[in-house]
Amino acid sequence: MTVLLDHRYRAGEMHRFDASGADFVYLPAAGAMFAFDEAIVAVLTLVEQGTVVHSDLVKALTADGMSAVDAEGLLREMRMVRLLEAENIVAQPAIVDAPPADYPLQALVLNVTNQCNLACTYCYEFGADKISTQTGKPKYMTPETARTAVDFLLDSAKGRKAVHVTFFGGETLMNFRLLKDTVEYANARAAETGRRCTYSLTTNATLLTDPIIDFLNDNAVGVTVSIDGPKDMQDSRRIYKSGKGSYDVIEPRLKSLIARHKTRAVTARVTLTAGNTDVVGIYRHLKDVIGFHEIGFAPVTTTDDGHDFGLNGDGMSDVLQGFHDLSEEWLQYALRGQMHGFSNVSETLSELVSGTNKSHPCGAGLGLLGVSPGGDLAPCHRFTDADEHVMGHIDTGIDQEKRTDFLTRGHVGSKYECTSCWARPLCAGGCHHEAFVRYNDTGHANLHYCDWIRQWTDRVLSIYGTIAVRNPEFLDRFADRKGMSS
C-alpha cells in the first residue's frame, strides 16, 4: 500500500447538495452521484477549510474510531473519484473523449417538407431563429430521396441492431404520402439485414385523421405534438396565416389520436414564450383535459433582436416557479411508485441515472444527422437548408472534414467556461443551433442560460437523491430511457 504522507490535499471538483436530510455529491469528472457518510463529510469539512496534510486526515479519522487501514482506504477512494486533489498536482478538468470521427450513424431526421399550414409567430422557420437559405430549394422531399436516405442510414449505421427515423417539417403531415412510403420501405430494408427501424414524428396536429392515426399506431410511430396549451394560449401564437387560431381544429383530432394510438406514448411539446408561462395550468389542461401521456416544456430564452416572444427575467422566474411546483408533484408521484407526465424531470433524471457524461450536448453531427427535402445532410433538423451548414449529401455521403470541424468546435473541452462548470456532464455547452443563432458559432457555450441549466440540474439532482433514499427501486425505470435530445 502506498501511503502519501507528505501530500497536502484540497477539495476536488464537486457539487454538493442535500436531499431528504442526507448529504450527496455530484462529481462532474465521473458524471456520477454519491451519498456521503459521516467520515467523508468529516474529511471534506477539513479540506474545505484549507489544504490538509495526508497524515493529519488519517489522524482525524482514527481519532473518530476508524482503523488506520480503513482511513487509508477511504482517502485512496476519495482521491480516485477526485473528491480529493493532491495540492502539488495541477488539477486538469476531466474532459470526456470525443467518439471517433467515423462514429456510426444511429438516426436521421428527415425534413419531409419546409412548408407549413400554420404561421406561428415564434416559429424558427419564420422568426429570429431562421437560418435557412431556402431560395430555389425543393419544398417537399420526394419518396426517392427518402428511400435513398434510408439506404444511406442503414449503410452508415454499421454494427447497430436498430436505427431511428424522425419525420419533421414544416408541417410533417403535409407530406404524409412520403412518410407512409418511407416506413414501408425502411421496414423491408432493415429486415433484409436483420435490423430494426423505429420512427417518430413531430406535428402541429391540424392534419391528423383517423386513417393517419391508425397508420401511426400500427407502425408504433412516436408522436410529438407542438402545442401551447388551452385555447386562449394556443390561439395567441399558433395561428393560421389568416390569423385564425388552431385550437378548435386540433382539439378533436388530439382526442382521437390519444384514444386510438396505443403503441407509443403521445407527447406534447410546449413552447413557453412571453405571456405564456403558466406551466402548471398548461400541464393540467394537456394532461387532464386532452389526455397527453407526457408533456415537455421549452422556454424561449430572452432575445434582444426586437422580437416580442422571448422570455424576460420576470417570465423566466414564472417558468422556474412552475417547473419547481410541477417537479415537486413529480417527486410525490415517484415516492408513491407512480409515473408523472412532466417529461423535463424524467429526461434529466434518465441522464443522471445512466451516468451521462457528454462530450457533446446532443447527437447532432455524431449519431444523428438532418436531411433537407433535397437530400443535403446537416448536423440536425434545425440546420437543414442552410448552405453554410451542409455536411454532405445522401448521394455522396458525409463530408467528414466538415463533420470533424463541427464536432471539434462543439466538444465540451473546447468551451472554456464549461470546463470548470459542474453541470457540464449533462449540458456540454447546450444546443449547437442556439449557439449559432446567439453567437454566430455552433461551438460557443450557451452562456445566456447557464443559471437556468444549473438551477434545473440541481433541482433534479435533489429529486434523484430523495428517491434514492426513500424509494430506490423506482429509479430502475429510468435506466433504459436515455434518448437523443432534440
Which one, 432 or 438, has the nearer CB to ligand SF4? 432
- Report the nearest approach of ligand SF4 to the CB of residue 408 (Å): 15
Phi then psi for 8, rounded to 5 degrees?
A: -105, 140
Which one, 170 or 230, has the nearer CB to ligand SF4? 170
- Report the nearest approach of ligand SF4 to the CB of residue 435 (Å): 8
Which one, 119 or 450, has the nearer CB to ligand SF4? 450
Which one, 186 or 423, has the nearer CB to ligand SF4? 423
- Report the nearest approach of ligand SF4 to the CB of residue 392 (Å): 17
- Report the nearest approach of ligand SF4 to the CB of residue 362 (Å): 3
Which one, 266 or 380, has the nearer CB to ligand SF4? 380
- Report the nearest approach of ligand SF4 to the CB of residue 296 (Å): 13
**Taking the C-alpha atoms of 274, 275, 280 and 281 in order, what is their torsion angle to the nearest 10 degrees?**
-150
Which one, 413 or 430, has the nearer CB to ligand SF4? 430
Q: Going by C-beta distance under 8 Å and a sequence separation of 6 or more, which residues neighbour residue 474?
A: 334, 335, 337, 467
Q: Which of 349, 380, 350, 334 is nearest to 480 (CA)?
A: 350
- Report the nearest approach of ligand SF4 to the CB of residue 232 (Å): 28
Which one, 327 or 442, has the nearer CB to ligand SF4? 442
- Report the nearest approach of ligand SF4 to the CB of residue 428 (Å): 6
Which one, 48 or 417, has the nearer CB to ligand SF4? 417
Which one, 280 or 450, has the nearer CB to ligand SF4? 450
Question: Given the rule CB under 6 A, which residues bind ligand SF4?
Answer: 361-362, 364, 380, 382, 415, 417-418, 421, 423-424, 427, 429-433, 445-447, 450, 453-454, 485-486
- Report the nearest approach of ligand SF4 to the CB of residue 284 (Å): 27
